[in-house]
Structure 1
Amino acid sequence: MSDGLWYADWAWLGSDEAPTGRVLIEVVDSRFSAITVGVATPPPDAIRLPGLTLPGLANAHSHAFHRALRGRTTDDRGSFWTWRDRMYALAGRLDPDDYLALARATYAEMALAGITTVGEFHYLHHDVDGEPYPDPNVMGAVLIEAAAQAGIRITLLDALYLTATVDGEPLEGVQRRFGDQDLDAYLARLDRLDAANSDNADSVRIGAALHSVRAVPAALLPEFAERTAGRPLHFHLSEQRAENEACVAAHGRTPTELLSDSGVLSARSTAVHATHLTDLDRTLLGDTGTGVCFCPTTERDLADGIGPARALADAGSPLSLGSDSQTVIDLFEEARALEADERLRTERRGHFTPAELIRAAAVAGHNALGWTDVGRIAAGERADLVTINLESPRTAGAPPVGAPLTASAADVTTVVVDGRVTVRDGHHVRIDVPAALEEAVHSLW
């Protein structure tokens, strides 16, 4: 438990459309107990938070091991598919010890960026030959341990991955690391993850994921949806046009239509990317309240395209944000890009307000990961705080309401998770993050 008083020069409270000044924040038992605005003089025992304080941010879609690819896929023009080949080469190198070191450093980098909860879309399950480890969840366990060491929460979105194509071709090569024998074996692993983390409810959730319509036979989708009920459910959707074309050829329906007919779409579900959608696809996602996680920095890095963010939000899909391939880890950049991409696509400005972007990065992301009491600075919520410097070269002169559109991860000075300080003065309190990343990445190459 953690108690204390914090005094924010400016804070973005609840669902407010703009920050509020001179805010006294009381924390009792790791939750906000009282929020008082307009306090001219803070109590002497209050910890001051100079700058703009936001609720904790949620990275709703992460592949931690991709961090080792940063800067290593730009030596030729390539394509999404050549990038994927290099990613597979990296996936073939990782063992549990390597993965712990890399994920720990990656999650610590996320903490520096103001991320207090990560949704790890996890499919690197087994040994290099595709055989389960003696503990079939050891790779998931090291991700959970890595998040604990980095001082952030995790929703482990354990992914079902059975086939290589929509046509059902078997997994080959490194893809065998991703695959379970069948749906029953996958669900047995989920049950073991639940049991192993039964005492970690304050910091760990176990969610479900289907990698994509390429990786799960259509006949299994209804049973998968039924037997994972009650968990957050995530899936890659229509990231590439080729995926859509293959699905229509095999099933006569788009991926979204196939998932809708199979009972996968719902308010507990989140589609990742959702870049290439038909009008019907958008309607199906919105009508079911299915969330959509955009990962703009990855989508532009891989030349995926620009998804219909505003149209999806208007249709009823809550929007969240993710760092995905870790091209950068900066949810301010992801949020800005959500607006900027809409401007490029439509040649108009003003699609999302700053408050909408903060909600996508904070409360909507947490909700998508199964954390319904995080993401707002309000009484009763978990005590997560992220303070950004308003006097950096990027933010100086900008009003507090505009700071999220000017700030970067480098402007984060303080991060508090459940009332405990994880980042102080821009440095992680436990981990030398640059050194940890350098060691973890270079040991793999």
Structure 2
Amino acid sequence: MESALFAKHALLPTGWANHVRLCFSEEGNLGTIKTGTKAKPGDHLADIVVPGMANLHCHAFQRAMAGLAERAGPDKDSFWTWRETMYQIAARLDPDALRAIAAMTYVDMLESGFTSVGEFHYLHHGPDGRPYDNPAEMATQVIHAARQTGMGQTLLPVFYAHGGFGGAALSPRQKRFGHDLDGFMALMQAIHKQHPGTKLGIAPHSLRAVSPEQLNALGTAFPQGPVHIHIAEQFREVEESYVHLGEPPVRWLLDHMEVDARWCLVHATHMREDEIRDLAKSGAVAGLCPITEANLGDGFFPAREYAGKNGRFGIGSDSCVRIDLAEELRLLDYGQRLQCQTRTPLAPPNTSSGRALFECALKGGAQALGQNTGALSVGKRADLVTLDGAHPALVARHGDAWLDGWIYAANTSPIVDVYVGGHKQVENGRHKGRAALQAAFGQTLKRILP
């Protein structure tokens, strides 16, 4: 572990500071932070330092199908047709394959500037739906992948009970995702026992897959920790929610559950004005995944209206079709520009778009994962990203223009090093374990893909 890092410039909670020395504690947190000082012998040196970002929504196994669902079918393609390809890939994954795929996914995230991930994990059982002897067999693989790569992780085991609204039965291809309440409790107990240091939340999959009674039971059984749920991603889901619940999904959830700062509503793409207002008021985080949402044709999240009500949000890679921190933020902003036909719709007056987006995503992501991250301040985990001040998109710029250059103008990544808990995981833009993990990933895909 490097005991200290000296940066010419660092983004602190108070703004940009110069000649900053950040000391790391034995626990991997930020100890003292001094500005206007000098480097000491042995310090690691950096041009520009910013906090590491939380990736609040990830299905790591889906990285195996990146680019494999882009062929047009005979009818109109949508999320629902994409899901068929996902089911085919999921059916081929064993524990070893899941671990190799998750590790490569986390390597790509770390190199992109993500230092923690919310793993929305629903690949629980064998391909035929029969449970493994160890209920936590598949969860163990993604936990080990995070530890192997040095990625901070909040594991979000998914409760998935039904194949649709109204208590529809799981389809044969969904059975490896499914639990009843007793089975899910056994899974959570097994994870607690086998991996006591793991940060845990829960993830009721969606209002399609969890009945109101089950959702209430989960709330009673798990009164603390993060709660993540897919919601209002597709118009079809909204329409079916009206039929079965009498309200659109976000409205129903806000009216029937104690939605607060523990919650992360993933996507929340299709909301009425009252839902936007009350979601922002709740203190929950909207989990936005712009690259995946664009890839699936989900629609545009009402970010301008939501931000105008001080709503909280973070970003995630979701299907991991492409992993790029800067592109997630850029696409979120550009989508709003195209809709509003105006520039800088998400930046307050006289502020940088890049800075506004970056800091909102930092805060929302850390909150959603329950991680002690999101800022370079004393006591926070020492998750940080160093940037190359001589990069063509950053050179001759200052302050917020460094973030704008990275997010909007960089054709290649300006990231130099990435630290998680004070440990350097990425050096000179490359993860220290990339060669071996990429080889394992390649061998795994050759084995599982047709």
Amino acid at match of 1:424: E
1:101-180 equivalences in 2 (<5 Å): 101-180=100-179
Equivalent-residue separation in structure 2 for 1:313 and 1:227 (angstroms):
33
Matched, 1:444 2:441: no
Q: Deviation string for 1:347-385 (max 9, x for gaps)?
A: 1222133333222332321221011x2121111211111
Q: Among residues 411, 414, 417, which one is paired with 2:414 in the alignment?
A: 411
Structure 1 match to 2:360: 360
CA deviations on 1:317-376 (whole Å, 9 max, x unpaired) are: 3110001111211111111222222211211222133333222332321221011x2121
SS at match of 1:435: helix
Give CA-to-partner distance per residue, 1:178-233, whole Å, 9 cap, x none.
101x12221221122122222x2xxx311100111110112322222222210200
Structure 1 residue corresponding to 2:25, chosen from 21, 25, 28: 28
In the alignment, structure 1 residue 321 sits paired with structure 2 residue 315: yes
**Cα distance between partner residues in 1 of 2:339 and 2:316:** 20
- 1:428 aligned partner: 431
Deviations, residues 289-341 of structure 1 (Å, cap 9, x unaligned): 11101100111111101001232233343110001111211111111222222
Confirm whether residue 311 of structure 1 aligns to residue 305 of structure 2: yes
CA distance in 1, matches of 2:128, 2:321: 28
Q: Given the superposition, is the C-alpha separation of residues 303 and 418 from structure 1 closer, same or farther in structure 2, using an over 3 Å criterion?
A: same
User: Residues 259-285 of structure 1: CA distance to partner in whole angstroms, max 9, x if unpaired?
Assistant: 123315211000011100011211231
Indicate conservation of the 8 Å contact 2:355/2:404, yes or no: no
Partner Cα separation in structure 1 for residue 387 and residue 63 of structure 2? 24
The one of 52, 55, 61 aligned to 1:59: 55
Q: 1:338 corresponds to which residue?
A: 332
| Partner SS, residue 32 of structure 2 | strand
Query: Compared with structure 1, are the counterparts of its residues 386 and 302 closer, same or farther at alpha carbon in structure 2 (3 Å cutoff)?
Result: same
Counterpart AA for 1:135:
N
Who is 2:88 aligned against? 89
User: Is 1:70 equivalent to 2:66 in the alignment?
Assistant: yes
| 2:137 maps to amino acid | V
Instruction: Report the Cα distance in structure 1 between the residues aligned to 2:320 and 2:401, rounded to whole angstroms.
Output: 25
Question: How many angstroms apart in 2 are the aligned matches of 1:398 and 1:242?
Answer: 46
Shift in Å, 1:162: 0.6
- The aligned residue for residue 350 of structure 2 is none
CA drift of 1:68 comes to: 1.0
- Structure 1: which amino acid aligns with 2:192? D
| Equivalent residue in structure 1 for 2:276, among 282, 294, 299 | 282
Q: Which of 312-321 and 376-385 deviates more? A: 312-321
Structure 2 distance, partners of 1:268, 1:279, is: 23
Report the Cα offset of residue 3 of structure 1: 5.5
Q: CA deviation at 1:400?
A: 4.0
- Partners of 1:119 and 1:258 lie apart in 2 by 24
Find the aligned partners of 2:242 and 2:144 in 1 and give their Cα distance: 41
- Work out the percentage of aligned pairs sharing the same amino acid: 34
- Is the 1:130–1:176 contact (alpha carbons within 8 Å) kept by the matching residues of 2? yes
Cα pair distance change 1:120/1:264, threshold 3 Å: farther
Name the structure 2 match of 1:193: 191
Say if 2:249 is the partner of 1:255: yes
Q: Which moved more, 1:268-277 or 1:382-391?
A: 382-391
What's the offset of the Cα at 1:404?
A: 2.6
**Counterparts of 2:128 and 2:256 in 1: how far apart (Å)?**
32
| 1:184 match | 182
Q: Secondary structure at the match of 2:49?
A: strand
Does structure 1 retain, via aligned residues, the 8 Å contact 2:135–2:186?
no
Residue 381 of structure 2 is aligned to residue 382 of structure 1: yes
Structure 2 Cα separation of the partners of residues 391 and 68 of structure 1: 35
Contact 1:73–1:86 under 8 Å retained in 2: yes
> C-alpha displacement at 1:14, in angstroms?
1.9
Are the counterparts in 1 of residues 2 and 43 from structure 2 also a CA contact under 8 Å? no
Q: Cα 1:404–1:442, aligned 2, differ >3 Å: closer, same or farther?
A: farther
CA distance in 1, matches of 2:397, 2:356: 18
Say how many residue pairs are matched.
434
Please give the alpha-carbon distance, in whole angstroms, between the structure 2 residues aligned to 1:196 and 1:359.
35
In the TM superposition, residue 152 of structure 1 has moved relative to its aligned partner by: 1.0
Shift of 1:398: 4.2
Shift of 1:390: 2.9
Q: What is the TM-score when the length of structure 2 is the normalising length? A: 0.92
Q: Which runs of 5+ in 1 are unaligned?
A: none
Secondary structure of the 1:387 match is strand
Report the equivalent of 1:237: 231
Q: Could you tell me how far apart the structure 1 residues matched to 2:308 and 2:221 are?
A: 30
Change over 3 Å in CA distance of 1:435–1:390 after alignment to 2: farther
Q: 1:431: Cα distance to partner? A: 3.0
**Cα distance, 1:24 vs structure 2:** 1.4
Task: Give the superposition deviation at 1:412.
Answer: 1.5
Q: Displacement, 1:108? A: 1.3
Residues 264/298 of structure 1: CA separation in 2 closer, same or farther (3 Å cut): farther
Please, what TM-score do these two structures have when normalized by structure 1? Answer: 0.93
Residue 397 (structure 1) shift: 4.4
Aligned partners of 1:327, 1:38: CA distance in 2, in Å? 42
Equivalent residues of 1:221, 1:264 under 8 A apart: no
Distance 1:79 1:293, change over 3 A: same
The gaps in structure 2 that reach 5 residues or longer are 348-352
Q: Which amino acid aligns with 1:190?
A: M
**1:4 CA drift (Å):** 1.1
1:213 matched residue in structure 2:
207
Alpha-carbon distance between aligned partners in 1 of 2:30 and 2:397, rounded to the nearest angstrom = 28
